[in-house]
Chain A
Amino acid sequence: MSTELFFQYFSAGITYGFLYAIVAIGFNIIYNATGIINFAQGEFVMLGGMTAISLYPFMPLPLAIVAAVIITTIIGALVEIIFIRWLDNPSVLRMIIITIGLSILIREAALFVWGESVRSLPYFNGNSISSINIMGANVSPQVLWVIGVCAVMVTILSLFFQLSTLGREMRACAANRLAATLCGINTRNRITLSFMLSAAIGAAAGCVMSPITYSQYDMGPGLAIKGFTVAILGGLGNSMAAVAAGLLLGLVESFSVMVLPQSYQEIIATSILLLVLFIRPHGLFGNKDTAALKEF
């Protein structure tokens, strides 16, 4: 294989890998705070992209993206406040069904508002045919935007959780909700915040990806499956591992084109998910003992 082709596949893999990683990190933030998987995570990505596309005719692109992220964040908060907050110690199964229901609800609402048409934001720099030459491969500048924005979000998030007081409190809620309550922390507000955070990063990812992947009302479930695969592959709750696992899945998918027909690309994630669940349910980077202590 030529070097150019290699880099072409490589950059595509990295681009999708970061998208999957962001969705997985969205899963992880909420999982860490509540112990549940929010299957409506992919819908946040869709909402971010679609809202920005609708706003774009009325305002400059950066403003439209910021507004879309803010609106999606508010929707994330509302979802938590209306559907989750008042539940007293819900079972895992009940929460899963609620979030699946939510994802259907949001999707149908999006169908009603935006219809079935496939839309996209314009390229941030240049257009669909402009490209930058890196190591002989032609890479769209949008790819660099995706990689840059996602890398910055991941870095800021991990700094936030490690260094800030609020991040420390959120980690405390995740580690031991009872003890956090006994320290006087309002754990319910921290959970709302976790929904807002993951809605925000999902929406931001949905905006930067939109020119490459396009946005459509039903893009959520596909992304959720990929993101879930990545979250499980990395080990649930571990955001840095999610980045590694996301890049891995992205690269495997894009290089698979060399040995498999392109239409088989979609089944790779599902096969990996099943394999991991059978062989290493605690993930590549997860710890078996800590996984054993978790409810789910």
Chain B
Amino acid sequence: MLRIKNLSAGYGRLKVLRNISLHVNQGEIVTLIGANGAGKTTLLSTVCGLLRATNGEIYLQGRDISRQRPERIVASGCSLVPEGRQVFAAMSVRDNLLLGAFVRYRAAKNKRRSMDLKPVYQLFPVLKEREAQMAGTLSGGEQQMLAMGRALMAQPALIMMDEPSTGLAPMIVKNIFSIIRQLKDKGNTVLLIEQNARAALRIADRGYVMENGKIIVQGPAADLLANQDVQRAYLGQNVDNK
């Protein structure tokens, strides 16, 4: 599905990513964990074209997308749920969702767009209740659901999420993670970036650990959960007394 080879990128002269290689297979949840400033968000920005790669290749379903403009990348099936939700605050929930379907129906009938709303409303019933409300008036958790729903409206082959749990109450976080799990059960492919490493590894199939712009550990999620180094550094566990 997604294959990244020796990717380097940065801001101006500042190199953030150094020779990153990773892949996501069809139907998997892959999580990328790491401390603040490790380069996780930079990686996602580079994949979806907001940032130019200085080196390396990114293949989405076999096609090189590393030199394409962001809107082309979205159209070829890779949607990002950005950090901090980024909903259209002064627009209704429904308009937010319809805008998400933009890549599929440019000029097509609004009727077909409305039909697409159904599966999203099924996944997030609360969005149906809030349909006509301004997105900015939703709670943080609801805005996160809206951002996810908006990305799903594009029916992407790969959905990438940047820290969906940031700033949410533990109950809501649990809810969000169970929805991500449901997405996988419905056949979606997810690349998930999280600070909340434990929760992310629990629902993921595989994981990568990033530090200073490099991938330092990778493997099945269960192995990473059991890995002592990972536990010490990212899961907040004291393993010395074992």
Convert A158-202 into 0s and 1s, putting 1 for each residue whose CB lies closer than 8 angstroms to a CB of B. 000000010011011001101111111111000000000000000
Q: Is the CB of A168 within 8 A of B154?
A: no
Please name the residue on chain B nearest to A168 by beta carbon: B95
- Report chain A residues within 8 Å CB of B91: 168, 171-172, 175
Please name the residue on chain A nearest to B107 by beta carbon: A165
Return the contact of A184 from the options B50, B71, B86, B107 (Cβ within 8 A).
B71
Asked if A180 meets B82 with Cβ closer than 8 Å, knowing A171-B91, A175-B91, A185-B71, the reply is no
Asked if A182 meets B86 with Cβ closer than 8 Å, knowing A168-B95, A175-B91, the reply is yes
- Report chain A residues within 8 Å CB of B88: 171-172, 175-176, 179-180
CA–CA, A168 to B94, complex, Å?
Answer: 11
With an 8 A cutoff between CB atoms, is B90 at the interface? Answer: yes
- B97-105, B121-129, B221-229 - interface stretch: B97-105
Asked if A169 meets B86 with Cβ closer than 8 Å, knowing A181-B50, A182-B48, A184-B74, the reply is no
With an 8 A cutoff between CB atoms, is B89 at the interface? Answer: yes
Interface size on B, residues (CB 8 A): 27
Q: Is the CB of A183 within 8 A of B102?
A: yes
Which B55-79 residues have C-beta < 8 A from chain A?
A: 69-71, 74-75, 79
CA–CA, A165 to B110, complex, Å?
Answer: 9
- Report chain B residues within 8 Å CB of A186: 69, 71
- Report chain A residues within 8 Å CB of B90: 171, 175
CA–CA, A183 to B150, complex, Å?
Answer: 8
- Report chain A residues within 8 Å CB of B98: 168
- Report chain B residues within 8 Å CB of A179: 82, 86-88
- Report chain B residues within 8 Å CB of A169: 99, 102
Interface set of A (CB-CB < 8 Å, partner B)? 165, 168-169, 171-172, 175-176, 178-187
Interface set of B (CB-CB < 8 Å, partner A)? 48, 50, 69-71, 74-75, 79-80, 82, 86-91, 95, 98-100, 102-103, 107, 110, 150-151, 154
3 closest residue pairs by CB, A with B: A184-B103, A184-B74, A179-B86
